[in-house]
């Protein structure tokens, strides 16, 4: 990892949270209603794009685990030819 990449990661970790907009949901922060009365465009887009993302993460983990097992452990148990 280069020095420039490290600097970029540190800047993102420090400055990133400054630009996060929270959604008022289920009584958070305290004093807000329990239900959303009207979705904003940003909130709707956030929900629509987050669903496939959070579905893809476990699928990617399973695919990665299978790939790893076939490559490393698979040779020991006779699955090395499945790569």
- What is the per-residue pLDDT across 3-50, written as a single tens digit (0 to 9) for each? 888 887 777 777 666 666 666 666 666 777 777 777 778 878 888 888
Going by C-alpha positions, the residue among 50, 22, 17 that lies closest to residue 36 is: 22
- Residue 27, strand partner residues: none
Q: Which residue has the higher pLDDT, 69 or 62?
A: 62
Predicted TM-score (pTM) of the model is 0.45
Q: Which residue has the higher pLDDT, 20 or 71?
A: 71
Is residue 75 scored above 70 in pLDDT?
Answer: no
């Amino acid at each position: 990892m280069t020095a420039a990449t490290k600097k970029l990661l540190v800047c993102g970790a420090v400055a990133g949270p400054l630009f996060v907009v929270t959604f008022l949901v289920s009584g958070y922060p305290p004093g807000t209603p329990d239900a959303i009365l009207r979705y904003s465009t940003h909130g709707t887009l956030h929900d629509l794009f987050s669903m496939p993302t959070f579905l893809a993460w476990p699928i990617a983990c399973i695919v990665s685990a299978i790939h790893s097992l076939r490559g490393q452990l698979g040779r020991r148990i006779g699955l090395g030819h499945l790569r």
